[in-house]
């Protein structure tokens, strides 16, 4: 009977140690999970900020491109007008 009691106590102690070990493993796993989740959220926040910056920059560049296109169109029209005037003056001089 004494050996049975000793075996039971040893088994109970082993079970308690296993439960404690499992609790520590679970706690460590949750800590890792939470740390990784926090890291993902921080990365997502940085990526979103970068995306927002890129969108703002893209908008600025698009606006600048449109201004340059408008200026180019005006310069082309002015050049055509000047060429037409030069031809008219040349024709007038030739007459």
- pLDDT tens-digit map of 57-66: 999 999 999 9
| Confidence bin at 70 (pLDDT 50/70/90) | very high
CA-CA distance, 75 to 81, in Å (whole number)? 10
CA-CA distance, 95 to 90, in Å (whole number)? 9
Beta strands in the chain, from DSSP E residues, in sequence order: none
| Confidence bin at 20 (pLDDT 50/70/90) | very high
Is 93's pLDDT higher than 90? Answer: no
């Amino acid at each position: 009977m004494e050996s049975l009691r000793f075996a039971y106590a040893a088994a109970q102690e082993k079970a308690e140690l296993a439960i404690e070990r499992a609790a520590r493993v679970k706690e460590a796993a949750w800590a890792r999970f939470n740390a990784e989740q926090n890291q993902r959220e921080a990365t997502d926040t940085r990526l979103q900020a970068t995306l927002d910056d890129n969108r703002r920059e893209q908008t600025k560049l698009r606006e600048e491109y449109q201004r340059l296109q408008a200026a180019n169109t005006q310069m082309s029209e002015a050049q055509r007008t000047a060429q037409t005037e030069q031809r008219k003056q040349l024709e007038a001089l030739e007459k």
